Amino acid sequence: MKISYNNASGSQVYDARLGERKVQKIYRGDEQIYPDASARIHQLRLDLSGWAGTSEGSCWEQAIEAVSVHSDATRYIRLTVGRTYLVANTYGTYPLASYLGGGLFEFAAGEGPLVQNLRLGDTAALQIRLPQLKSFSIGGDQEHNQPVSRLYPSCPSGTEVRGYFGKGQKRVSTGVRIVVESVPSGKVLMNRHQQQDGHCRGDYNWNYGWCGPVAGDTQVRLTVYPHQPRGGWGGYFVYPAAARTLTARIIQIIKED
């Protein structure tokens, strides 16, 4: 169904609401005019292959991991392919585009873009907005005192590295050593040990420095080594806020049955 209103002429109607309730069907007499019988896209694949080992790839991996938790006005990926969708999670009245990996997006029945509006080779926009985010933490406690390691997406520029530990006993020097290694190159981005000495107890969470991406690498390995732990210990990243728009070509279109 198309409508003309004010400056919009012949615009496709993708969504209709009665207050906050989504309208399922609209009839003109006995004829259903919304949603109409126009063919829609069920799945659409974008070419993201050129992003591997680039700042675009680093931003995308960080964003898709972040929005898999939830989306809101400060954390989202907006996919624009004729119509605008929120990726992985949605809020408000935005329709959802599920991300299946490998550049493949899927739309709910009746929600996808119209086939007539897109073709192979067209450019899709992915608008990313993220607040400052803390990564998943790794570590242990006094009884679990062996080094721990985990792979993360490549760090965007300005990523802060932090280590934490509890010092629950006086006259014992306690701390952690943190090593950050870029993968697959193996380049060491950080190798630093910090500890708290003296006749004191407390919990400490310290900055160890900052790191960024290595061209051609797609991941980083964070390894944390405890030193005479007397409480919980570990490490994590703090990613900077991000706001950028990425573009990619449409390389596959799958219609609804």
CA nearest to 129, candidates 187, 69, 76: 76
Question: Residue 46 burial (CB < 10 Å; 0-12/13-18/19+)?
Answer: buried
The one-character DSSP state at 156 is P
- pLDDT, mean of residues 6-23: 72
- pLDDT, mean of residues 99-122: 93
- pLDDT, mean of residues 172-199: 94
Report domain 133-240's class: mainly beta
pTM: 0.77
Q: What percent of the chain has pLDDT over 70?
A: 94
- Report whether pLDDT(222) > 70: yes
Domain boundaries, the chain: 2-34, 41-131+243-255, 133-240
CA nearest to 125, candidates 78, 172, 92: 78
Residues 147-161 have pLDDT tens digits of 999 999 999 999 999
Q: Round to whole Å and give the CA distance between 174 and 212.
A: 28
pLDDT given at position 39: 82
Average pLDDT, the chain: 90
- CB burial of 76-98 (b: ≥16 within 10 Å; e: otherwise) equals bbbbebbbebbbbbbeeebbbbe
The one-character DSSP state at 88 is S
pLDDT given at position 241: 96
Residue type, 7: N
- Report whether pLDDT(37) > 60: no
User: ∠ CA 121-125-131 to the nearest 5 degrees?
Assistant: 155
- Report whether pLDDT(220) > 80: yes
Is residue 110 a contact partner of residue 35, using CB atoms and an 8 Å limit? yes
- Report whether pLDDT(24) > 80: no
